[in-house]
Structure 1
Amino acid sequence: MVRDVHLAEYAVFGILMGANLAVGLYFALNRRSRRMNSDEAFLGSRTLGIVPLSLSILATLVSAIGVVGFTAHFYTYGLHWLWSLVPLLFLVPVVSRIVVPVFYNLKITSVFEYLRLRFGNKMGIIACFINFVISMVLGAVSTFAAGVAISTAFHFPSLWSILATGAACTIYTAFGGFRGVIWTDAMQAILILVCPLTVVIKIIYDSSYGPDVNLRRPVDDVDIQPYFLEASFDLTKEENVWACIFGSIAPNMYRMGVGQMIVQRYAAAKSLQEAQSTVYLGNTLFFVTFALLGVVGMSLIYWYRDCDPFLLGAISRVDQLVPYYVGTRLSGFPGFSGLFLTGVVSATLSTVSSAINSLAATFYIDVLLPYMSFSEDQANMVTKALAFGFGASMTLLAIIVPYLESAVRLFTILQSSAAGPFVGLYILALAFPWANSKGAVTSTILVLALQLWALIGKFSSGPRPPKMAVTLDSCPANFTRVDGNATLAWTTHEQRGENVFPLYMLSAYWGGFFSMVLTVVVGLLISVMTGGGEQAGRHIGLTSDVFIQFWKRLKLLPDSDANSNSEKGKTETVQLNDITDISSNW
């Protein structure tokens, strides 16, 4: 049922989005009074506070994929991905105590500078490539999700909505300034929190006072087992407690610990202690927000399970579920749809702008500068071209997302697959001083090739996860069924092809976990066989102090090596190519 869009929706959306852009523009113009160097451009001169940095982490981690995509994913495939919050309970202390001190004390701008120090330029470029894949997918799926929201809520063509969203994100990034991005993110984080609350409150209200309250089964009638408690160790299943817990370790570690977008925020803190506090506060906000998205998913299950809009023909993709609810149920409250849509687009702006910024920065610093030199004017042109190039590429990729998979399933599969070897590489670097470049490069390339092979096979002939059972049994009388009956059109069992190669059957979540472990194991074996143990002393300063003390207790690292090299490592500076004053683009 298509309803007219109230003028108030456009007004609220326009005013709030204008305010968001005004914050970025203010810092872009105001920064001219501040001496701009690379430290200011990429890290805000390392003077930013805990609260804005933490809110920026929330805005970066919770994109439109979360607000629109994950809630629809919970409704369609179940709530098992909420179990991915469990690893955060031990990963947050790990990042705070092990990862952040190494990066912060080295005073690096790019996480790949660390890899170049640890394993050489080749390894830095390989890691850059993995990061490009993850960031491009994140940006594309976020742009697509926001485009779907705009298209569904305002009845615009989806293609033009995606193009407009991508263009806005690209131009928004060009206003630049890491300081401006942080403060804009902080404002957007508040709107992101409002989005799910709006939906939950409206469903609770309608469940008590709405005209259709008697048509719906009570929420305690939901069978929680298939939705949330499937706990077998079947390695071919994705919607499963253990698959989501173990399979989310690598993606969570990437997002909150070694991803360029987040590490930039830790490095921008005033001190190491504040950086560590930012880890705790930022990820606590993310934990609460993602759990709230699970509540939204459960609310939508209650509301639509007996009158599914997809079976009804009201939507053509499950990714449209949340915008459809907003357009049909919040339209009676002028301005609410515009408020919700602002939160969705804000989530996309913050995530995609951070992705574009980090991609352009790392490509310039880690790929171009080691081999080329630029004048200040040339650097300005190159970095601006990189930003627009990555933004345009993300937008084009977003256009083909609907032809591949569910947006969230595509995102989780690709991120889990790519994050495994990426995180395994950093575990090698941070935890094992005897890991050398030969072991790191070889293991990463081998595991990446294996993951690529598995991904191609999975998308072409692998199984599809089952969808939760839905019906049309309780649709209101004023709704017209497309086929005139309540036949269930979704498959509630896993679809498997015949004679599928075993590797293609492996869950992408388990595949991500195993690829992380395999990268570490193979890297260590090759390092030991190629004399890595003899080189351990020179890597002490680039290894976490926690692991140095651990290996010393186990007598695997001689005290002489640790003591003779610790001071050298702690004071080692990143002697890469000079980074020109390119900040006017950011």
Structure 2
Amino acid sequence: MSLYLSLIDFVVLLLFLLVSASFGVYHACRGGHQRSADEYLLADRSMHPIPVAISVVVSALSAVTYLGVPAEIYVHGPQYGIVVGNKLIVLFFVVFSFCPVLYRLKLTSINEYLEIRFNRHVRYLCAGIIISAFPIFMGISIYGPALALNAVSGLSLPGSIIVSGFVCTFYSTIGGIKAVMWADVFQSMIMLCGFLVTAIACCIQVGGLDEVFHINARDGRDTVFDFRIDPRVRHSFWAVFFGLGIQSASYIGCSQMIVQRYMTCRTLRQSQAAAGIGTSLMGLVELIAVITGVCMYAFYAGCDPVSSGKVSRADQLMVYIVVDLFENTPGVAGFIISAVFSSALSTTSSGINAIAAVVGYDVIKTQFPGIQGVKFTFVLKAVSVIFGLISILTAFLASIMGPILPLTLTIAGAFMSPIFGVFCLGIFFPWSNAKGALAGLICALATGIWLVIGSQMYPPVSEDPPLFTDQCDDILSMNGTTMMTSLVEPTTSATIQAVGGLPMIAQIYSLSYAYLAPLNTCITIFVGMIVSLLTGPTDIATLDPTLVSPLIRTVCCCKTRGRDDEIKMKETSGPIYELVETKLKGKRTEV
């Protein structure tokens, strides 16, 4: 039997969308009316660290976490839960290394650092990668709520994508980053309540949290730590802790969408506080998402909705269970579906704002350096609209490419981790040079794209615990054929996919998606270091120490061409803007 939202649920969802849009309208009409790029993209660097930290959480997690993590736990077991602990890796990279370097330069586009540290070719290549990859991420974020709306409204998936995409694009374009972040604060409350209400309702229906864990243990879903070193194991301890830890560090440490938020804080200390608090809260939200997935399995332990044909794919389970639990409580399901839209709106609006910064400063500003003020802000908003429409198109592509969580992390591993590797070269390896950075970036990018294409051609087979339908007592109609599900045998994804007749190279594509980020990061660093040494490493004595991590400065004792006060620069915009502009002009002259 299909489950659909009631009229009251749709009213609640509509009210949520109107409140979210009101943040954009309010901030578009107040203050400077978005007449400067600094106000539109960086909130005039005046934000408090708490809303910035919350905005980091909801922007980084998105609908992928809200829909994908519970589905991942439901299908594959609780091993993914180790992701909560890998935030220690993120804290090391971001708070103590990336923030001190990038914030003191007061950059708008993070790629400006790459021109200062290496040359403009490295900057433009990384900007091109971001401009190519970000619409894919935003498309997946739009696809998430569209999938949810399709599952419970009867609206076709293409129609759901178009509705979701236009709402996100409107909200993202008019308000600027200040509207986006304050809306994130509101939406984060909805997201958290959605997870908690769903998990608690499942526990009550099943008979308590103890019974939830008992059911999972009974069905072989009590193994959290899998210490096998086989890189083909989907969620071993090593893959989740180190692999996805590096993945998170690459996203939170050098993603324009996230770093741009740190840049809105008043001081470096506030920027580091926002990064630290945001990363810790991410771990908490992911833990709640994992528990929700465990509770979801206990609720459907005897009648899997996917195998029994009630939903078409696992990514719809989070929405389906909400409507199933609260079908007789009008308004609650609409509230929780609003949480799905919260995650999507926050990420999409953040992504569109970030890509406007990259296009504006890495493309338009370099070609038309005199453009500024209202005219430049108008161009940035036009860029936002264009990429919002492109994201709608990529959402259709996401609908045919598999589960959204591994899909997102795989694409991030292919595109973002090479950029992370280049930033690591610049920040942690003072002797690396521009030729090494370019060589490492190109090699890692080629490797990542090759593995992504190969994994789509030969999808890896995972050994998952079974999903049962032996307790389904209803008769379902599937594709016009009546089918009794009470006697269906348990199934696993390993039994669905053929294991024979594959070429030997398919073994390479069986690599867990979690290892893609550290693999590409290591390739970038290794190739970059070798090429740097062969072509003449950077003389550490001439390297400006403000461009490397404070941790590395204490080890390498870099000498500076300028005065020591450049390292302890005052965190005021004027002198630092002049310093950045001077460095950029110097690099362009050298090139």
Report the TM-score when normalising by structure 2. Answer: 0.90
- Matched to 1:40, the amino acid is E
Residue in structure 1 matched with residue 25 of structure 2 by the alignment: 25
TM alignment of 1:106-505, pairs within 5 A: 106-208=105-207, 218-224=215-221, 228-373=224-369, 375=371, 379-476=376-473, 482-484=483-485, 485-492=487-494, 496=499, 498-501=502-505, 502-505=507-510
Which shows bigger deviation, 283-292 or 90-99?
A: 90-99
Give the letter for the 2:493 counterpart: T
Query: Matched residues in 2 for 1:447 and 1:160: separation?
Result: 37
| Aligned match of 2:580 | 574
3-state SS of the aligned residue for 1:310?
coil
SS at the partner of 2:167?
Answer: helix
Q: Secondary structure at the match of 2:47?
A: coil
SS at match of 1:575: helix
Distance in structure 2 (CA, Å) of the matches to 1:214 and 1:381: 57
AA paired with 2:176? G
2:573 counterpart residue number: none
For residues 225-263 of structure 1, the C-alpha deviation after alignment (integer angstroms, 9 at most, x for no partner) is 5x5333211112222221122211332112221111111
Closer, same or farther: CA 453–308 of 1 in aligned 2, 3 Å:
same
Aligned pair 1:511/2:523, yes or no? no
- Give CA-to-partner distance per residue, 1:85-133, whole Å, 9 cap, x none: 2221232143112111111111111111111211121111111233234
Distance in 1 of aligned mates of 2:137 and 2:475: 39
Question: Please, which of 547, 551, 554 is the counterpart of residue 546 of structure 1?
Answer: 551
Q: Note closer, same or farther for the CA distance 1:204–1:349 as it changes in structure 2 (3 Å cut).
A: same
Counterpart residue number, 2:589: none
- The one-letter code matched in structure 2 to 1:229 is F
Identity, % of aligned positions: 24
Q: How many residues align?
A: 566
Check 1:113–1:569 CA distance in 2 against 1; reply closer, same or farther (3 A cut): farther
Distance in 2 (alpha carbons) for counterparts of 1:367 and 1:382? 12
CA distance in 1 between counterparts of 2:215 and 2:532 reads: 59
Give the secondary-structure state (helix, strand or coil) at the position aligned to 1:204.
helix
| 1:524 lines up with 2:552 in the alignment | no
Q: Is the 8 A contact 2:67 2:144 kept in 1?
A: yes
Aligned counterparts of 2:489 and 2:293: Cα–Cα separation in 1: 23
Pair 1:103 & 2:108 matched: no
- Cα 1:534–1:341 change in 2 (3 A) is same
Say if 1:526 and 1:375 are closer, same or farther in 2 by CA, change over 3 A: closer
Q: Tell me by how many angstroms 1:306 deviates.
A: 1.6
Question: How much does 1:38 deviate?
Answer: 2.4
Q: Distance in 1 between matches of 2:96 and 2:377?
A: 37
3-state SS in 2 of match to 1:472 = coil
Aligned to 2:39: 40
Task: Work out the CA distance in 1 between the residues paired with 2:211 and 2:126.
Answer: 55
Q: Distance in 1 between matches of 2:240 and 2:397?
A: 27
Mapped contact 1:67–1:293 kept (Cα < 8 A): yes
Post-superposition Cα deviations, 1:319-362, rounded to whole Å, max 9, x if no partner, equal: 11111111222111111111001111011001001001101111
Structure-2 change in CA distance of 1:132 and 1:84 (3 Å): farther
> Which sections of structure 2, spanning at least 5 residues, go unmatched?
570-575, 585-591
Separation in 2 of the partners of 1:381 and 1:46? 20
Equivalent residues of 1:236, 1:505 under 8 A apart: yes
Deviations 1:356-407 (A, max 9, x none): 1101111120122212356456535532332122111111111122212112
* Local SS of the residue matching 1:423: helix
Confirm or deny: 8 A CA contact 2:461 2:494 kept in the other structure. Answer: no
Q: Is the 8 A contact 2:544 2:560 kept in 1?
A: no
Quote the offset at 1:33 in angstroms.
6.0
CA distance in 2, matches of 1:576, 1:449: 34
Query: Contact 1:45–1:268 (CA<8 Å) still a contact in 2?
Result: yes
Question: Is the contact made by 2:87 and 2:280 (CA closer than 8 Å) also made in structure 1?
Answer: no
CA deviation after TM superposition for structure 1 residue 473, in Å = 1.5
Q: Aligned AA for 2:52?
A: L
Letter in 1 for 2:458: S
Q: TM-score, normalised by structure 1?
A: 0.90
Question: Which SS does the other structure have where 1:482 is aligned?
Answer: strand
C-alpha displacement at 1:461, in angstroms? 2.1
Partner of 2:66: 67
Letter in 2 for 1:197: L
8 Å Cα contact 1:238-1:509 kept in structure 2: yes
- Deviation larger for 349-358 or 454-463: 454-463
Equivalent-residue separation in structure 1 for 2:394 and 2:323 (angstroms): 27
Tell which deviates more after alignment, 455-464 or 437-446.
Answer: 455-464
The aligned amino acid for 1:448 is L
